[in-house]
A and B are shown apart, each in its own frame.
Chain A
Amino acid sequence: MNGTTESNAVRALTAMNEMTGMNENPLDLLPEVLLAASAVLGLLLGAWLPRRRQWLVGALAGAACAGGLVAAAIAATTPVETAFGGAFALDTLSATSRIVILGATLLVLALAAPRLYADPRETEFHVLLQLSSVGALTLAGAQDLLLLAAGYLLASVPAYALAGFRKDGPGTEAALKFYVLGAFLGVLMLTGITVLLAAGRTTAYPVLRTELAGAPTGLVAAGTLALLTGVLFKAGAVPAHFWVPDAVQGSSEPVAAFLTTIPKIGALVAFYRLAVVPLADADLPWAGLVAVLSVASMTLGNLAAFFQQDVTRLLAYSTISQVGYLLLPVAVAGRTDLDQEALLYYLAGYALTNLGAFAVVCALPGARTVDDYRGLARTRPALLAALVVCLLGLVGTPPTAVFLGKLEAFSAAFDGGYAWLAVVAAVNTVASLFYYLRWIAPAFLASGPAGGPGAMSRSAAVIAYGAATGSVVLGLLGGSVLDVLGGPPAP
């Protein structure tokens, strides 16, 4: 007993020593550094700039995202390694999430910037948005439990402020619910990390992998469950989903688009990484647990979305159900060769399609309920086309990106021995069609009130067209994209 403990400790120490000898090159984290630096610089700039010039902060944020995208694309070609003492993984998972998160942030910035022009708190918005994105990037790359916790806080705290940014009644309620739940689950997550530290005597993933395999199962299970609550909170999955509908409905549309897209990407990649690295050899009923969470998410999300009148609330529940599908590859992580491609491709397709749907909502600020979209076919046919493509895309109608993502996810579930999960997901997909059609049908068929649903934001409409086209193009070019998503995760 003593002998094994000792040898384990020695092994952990040597591993740590090796790691400290590894690189601490800040250029490896260039996308994250760029975004964080631009946030800090933007805050300083905003303090000195006159109100009419504050858009420069937004432009700076956009430039940082674009620069980060280029850096991430270049970094994606380098071989798999870890940075900063093995705390941050540089592999296909983090490279893809960087590109998707930065691209999505860029879209949200473009959605938000025209509305915020000359707003008294324009700078603050952009800074908070960037900081939260850095948090999502950290979640996606974290290879150490403490960094995961830091990423969680960085992604959450600015997001609380963003949710209540409008300072009105619903916004305050949204921020409060979001914050209380986030704080509670954050503490629970830290508890989980502490328990896992007790079980594995380290927080570094590669070492945890070997340590947790021999640790007491009850301890590991308790720690994992507590840890997962935080991850599920960021992903907006059942049972930590209660904040999603209120936060989405209460905050402004660009913020809602952000909250339902970007932290999800980071959280789901972190979830997957937990499955394939530290917990890969642990004696846990992992697949069963995640399968149950997945079924609960998709079913509850779909059922709750059925009779929603408010379009943002409908989309909020739809994102909860989408997390259920996204958990399919996580459930069978390590049991099949298709899991990683499926997750990453689905995430990319989901981000683009979901942002497209929110962009349509942003484009019609006067339309809040499903009925406000009546007669859109006559007044704004192109916008309706974008909405139809995005909503049917979320259902998984070919040839959009989400279709291929779903196909991959279903295949992964089948291949991993969870065929029943794929069947449940398919049934849920049909159910989801109902509420998307409840939105599309009156827009396409009925004749609306004279004058249509009010003014249209041209810039948001352009983004909606772009996202809708993008989701189809991504689906058609799926072959070449899938090819680059297959690299091994960092050990």
Chain B
Amino acid sequence: MLTALVLLPTAMAVLLLCVPRGAPRVLFPAAWAATAAAELVLTVIVWTGHERGGGTWYETRARWIPSAGISYHVGVDGLSLPLVAVTCVLFLACAAYAWRETRRPREFAALFLFLQTTCLGLFVALDLILFFVFFDLSIVAMYFIIAAWGHKGAARAALKFFLYTFIGSLALLLGFIGLYLAADPHTFDIVELTEADPLAGRTTYGALVLLAIAVGLAVKTPTVPFHTWLPPAHTDAPAAGSAILAGVLLKMGTYGFLRVAMPVLPDAWRDHALVFVVVGVVSVLYGALVALAQTDFKRMVAYTSVNHMGYIILAVGAAGAVGADQEDARRLAVTGSVFQMVSHGLLTGALFLLSGVLYERGRTYEMAAYSGVAGRAPVFAALTGVAAFASLGLPGFSGFIAEFQILTGSLGPAPVATGLAVLGILLTAALFLRALQQVLLGPLRLPVAAPGADRPFADLRVHEGLAVVPLLALGVVLGLAPRFVLDVIEPASRTVLDLLRR
């Protein structure tokens, strides 16, 4: 079941590449959207079919490279299932958004389908090498998307993205090898490694392995000081690419902390939890402050991603902080961090797609070039407003639930850090309000180069609306009735904490 879910998009991508040259252009987005929809249906089936309570579902394990301790081992649990779902939703939204892509639509669709395989594969992987394979392939696919369909300067940004994240992935690989050699018998299997806890009592070795893994994941997340690849990559990527990059690829880093670093290295994690708390808070504040200084709308959204990812790092760090009596608080922190991944995926995905709409109309992301857009494009303005308010954590949206849980959960174990992190919310509120005011309100002013003389700023088109509205609607649903997702996450976060307490 999961194998089909993972491999279906790539199979479709291969089919698309084999289609003869003269095929009508519309075939490619249609096939892409159909596949993405099928993936979503499959995910719904997986979601409704799983048993309640904890554990791993749909587990499959096949021999792959037994002599090197590598197997094809996949399964979903409460940590990965919400992320699988959000991946499928976002890819469907991107398929809708890119309906009118005219530059090499065949390759565009094929790359996105392949990228979907790598994202889903990573979230369901229960073997470190399988995890790494998908981790690396996602970088390759995203490199080509940014480089070939991005804006001016995309080649440079893509190269930076590739080099940065690739160095991260190699650090990750070295950490994985360290784990592999520590286990007896040698294995890359996450489940076996989790049970064995191979580095219990080996402080230095454990710290070094954690360092390698944490650096690898922190580059991908990204946290300060490894975040410098993110703004150029986002600014120059096509809108759909940015949405996936922020919505799904960044989650690979934070998911890795919950899936690999915490359960497999509990001792080292507890010893160094404070480092993660500090890095988290610095990311929250630094991301927000730098975002506040941006004049470029997309760059600003990119920096708020650093801010939002910072909350997750803060939460996972706080969950490992000493003091075993605050069990409930720490569970809240872990649950909140998973919920934040889902929420950020939906909301930031929507924001990046909306910024793509803005760019498509005005050919610039500079906020100073726009004013009073609300009068000309009310639907666009309304949706941007909703997305911005949701992203800054207004109650009633998913972001509020996530950040509330994270901050409440972290307050006990790390009071000072959490107090500082709250300031981040204030900063995000300020910067989003300022951006909305600049772009949407005031007298009408549009960039001179805007194409189409009679209606220089057309309102949202149907396919764009179809992409953005469901994302925001889901954000509202999760904000009002989060229970159905929390029920899935909570048993898994309890398991993570049990493993951490060993």
Q: Is the CB of B65 within 8 A of A411?
A: no
Partner of B137 from A397, A437, A441 at Cβ < 8 Å: A397
A358 at the interface (CB under 8 A from B): no
* 0/1 interface trace, chain A 342-373, chain B, CB 8 Å (1 if under): 00000000000000000000000000000000
Q: Does B147 contact A (CB under 8 A)?
A: yes
> Do B66 and A441 have beta carbons less than 8 Å apart?
no
Which of B133, B158, B162, B166 has the most chain A CB atoms inside 10 A of its CB? B166
**Is B178 interfacial (CB-CB < 8 Å)?**
yes
- Specify which chain B residues have a CB less than 8 angstroms from the CB of A479 in the assembled complex: 63-68, 70
Output the least CB separation between A482 and chain B (Å): 4
Contact B147–A414 (Cβ < 8 Å): no
In the complex the two chains form, is B173's CB within 8 Å of A410's CB? yes
Inter-chain contact A423/B174, CB cutoff 8 Å:
yes
B171–A426 touching, CB < 8 Å: yes
Is B257 interfacial (CB-CB < 8 Å)? no
Majority secondary structure, B binding face? helix
> In this assembly, does A422 line the interface, its C-beta being within 8 Å of a C-beta of chain B?
yes
Beta-carbon contact of A434 and B144 below 8 Å:
no
A40: Cβ under 8 A from any B Cβ: no
Chain A residue at minimal CB-CB distance from B205: A419
- A478 with B65: CB separation less than 8 A: yes
Distance in Å: Cβ of A413 to nearest Cβ of chain B: 9
Chain A nearest Cβ from B252, distance in angstroms: 15
Q: Would you call B181 and A444 a contact (CB within 8 A)?
A: no
A474 CA / B140 CA spacing, docked (Å): 20
CA separation between A325 and B177, bound complex, in Å?
16
A341 within 8 A of B: yes
List, in ascending order, chain A residues with CB within 8 A of B181's CB: 411, 414-415
Bound CA–CA A414/B167 (angstroms):
18
Chain A CB within 8 A of B30 CB: no
In the bound assembly, the distance between CA atoms of A341 and B63 in angstroms comes to 18
- CB within 8 Å of B: which of A414-451? 414-415, 419, 422-423, 426-427, 429-430, 433-434, 437, 441, 444-445
The answer to whether A330 has its CB under 8 Å from any CB of chain B is no
CB distance from B352 to the nearest CB of A (A): 22
Contact call B177/A414, Cβ cutoff below 8 A: yes
For the complex, what is the distance from the CA of A486 to the CA of B67, rounded to whole Å? 9
A444 touching B174 in the complex, CB below 8 Å, given contacts A397-B137, A398-B133, A398-B137: no
Q: With the chains together, A398 CA to B180 CA distance in Å? A: 18
Q: Give A482 to B64 CA distance when docked, in angstroms.
A: 11
Q: How far is the CB of B180 from chain A (nearest CB, A)?
A: 7
> Assuming A441-B147, A444-B144, is B166 touching A430 (CB within 8 A)?
yes
| CB within 8 Å of A: which B150-174 residues | 155, 158-159, 162-163, 166-167, 170-171, 173-174
Interface residues of B in 121-148 (CB under 8 A from A): 129, 132-133, 136-137, 140, 143-144, 147-148
A339 at the A/B interface (Cβ < 8 Å)?
no
Residues of B with C-beta under 8 A to A213: none
In the complex, which residues of chain A have a beta carbon less than 8 angstroms from the beta carbon of B67?
341, 479, 482-483, 486
CA A410 to CA B178, docked complex, whole Å: 10
- Which partner residue on chain B sits nearest A438 by CB separation? B159
Q: Would A408 and B178 count as touching, CB distance under 8 A?
A: no
Verify if A407 is at the interface (C-beta below 8 Å from B): yes
Contact flags B60-87 to A (C-beta < 8 A → 1, else 0) = 0001111110100000000000000000
State which of B137, B143, B159, B170 has its C-beta within 8 Å of the C-beta of A429.
Answer: B170
Q: Is A392 among interface residues, defined by CB-CB distance under 8 A?
A: yes
| Set of chain B residues within 8 Å of A397, measured between Cβ atoms | 136-137, 140
Q: Is the CB of A430 within 8 A of B68?
A: no
Task: Report the minimal beta-carbon distance from A344 to chain B, rounded to whole angstroms.
Answer: 12
Which residues of chain A come closer than 8 Å to B63, judged between CB atoms? 479
A392:B162 contact, CB within 8 angstroms: no
B159 neighbours in A (Cβ, 8 Å): 434, 437, 441
Query: Which residues of chain A have C-beta atoms less than 8 A from B70's C-beta?
Result: 479
Question: A470 at interface (Cβ–Cβ under 8 A)?
Answer: no
* Bound form: Cα–Cα A343–B129 in Å: 20
Complex interface: chain A residues within 8 A of B65 (CB) = 404, 478-479, 482
- CB pair B174 A410 closer than 8 Å: yes
Contact B148 A437 (CB under 8 A): no
Select one of A398, A419, A437, A478 contacting B68, CB under 8 A.
Answer: A478
Given the interface pairs A404-B68, A407-B68, A407-B129, the reply to whether A422 lies near B174 with Cβ below 8 Å is yes
CB proximity to A under 8 Å, residues B30-73: 63-68, 70
A170 adjacent to chain B (CB < 8 Å): no
A489 within 8 A of B: no
B171 partner residues in chain A, CB cutoff 8 A: 426
Query: A139-159: which have CB < 8 Å to B?
Result: none
CB closest residue in chain A, given B180: A411
Measured CA separation A437–B129 after assembly (Å): 24
Say whether A85 faces chain B, with CB atoms less than 8 Å apart: no
User: B409 to nearest A CB, angstroms?
Assistant: 36
**Smallest CB–CB gap between B13 and chain A, Å?**
12
A415 contacts across to B, CB distance below 8 A: 181
A415 to B181, CA, bound (A): 7
Cβ contacts under 8 Å, B132 to chain A = 398
Give the distance to chain A from B38, nearest Cβ to Cβ, in Å: 25
A399, CB-defined interface residue at 8 Å: yes
Q: A407-B68, A482-B68 are in contact. Are A426 and B170 (CB under 8 A)?
A: yes
> Which chain B positions have C-beta within 8 A of A392?
140
Contact among A341, A408, A423, A441 for B155, CB-based, below 8 A = A441
> How far is B64's CA from A430's CA once the two chains are assembled, in angstroms?
27
**Contact assessment for B177 and A407 in the assembled complex, using a CB-CB cutoff below 8 Å:** yes
CA distance A85 to B18 in the complex (A): 57
Closest to B208 in A: A419
- Chain B residues closer than 8 Å to A422, beta-carbon distance: 174, 177
**Further pairs besides A377-B148, A398-B136, A419-B178: 7, Cβ < 8 Å:** A397-B137, A414-B174, A414-B181, A430-B163, A479-B66, A482-B68, A483-B67
In order of increasing CB-CB distance, the 7 nearest A-B pairs are A479-B65, A398-B133, A426-B170, A482-B67, A430-B167, A478-B65, A411-B177
Question: Could you list 12 A-B pairs, sorted by A, with CB under 8 Å?
Answer: A377-B148, A407-B68, A410-B174, A411-B68, A415-B181, A433-B162, A434-B163, A441-B155, A445-B155, A478-B65, A479-B66, A482-B68
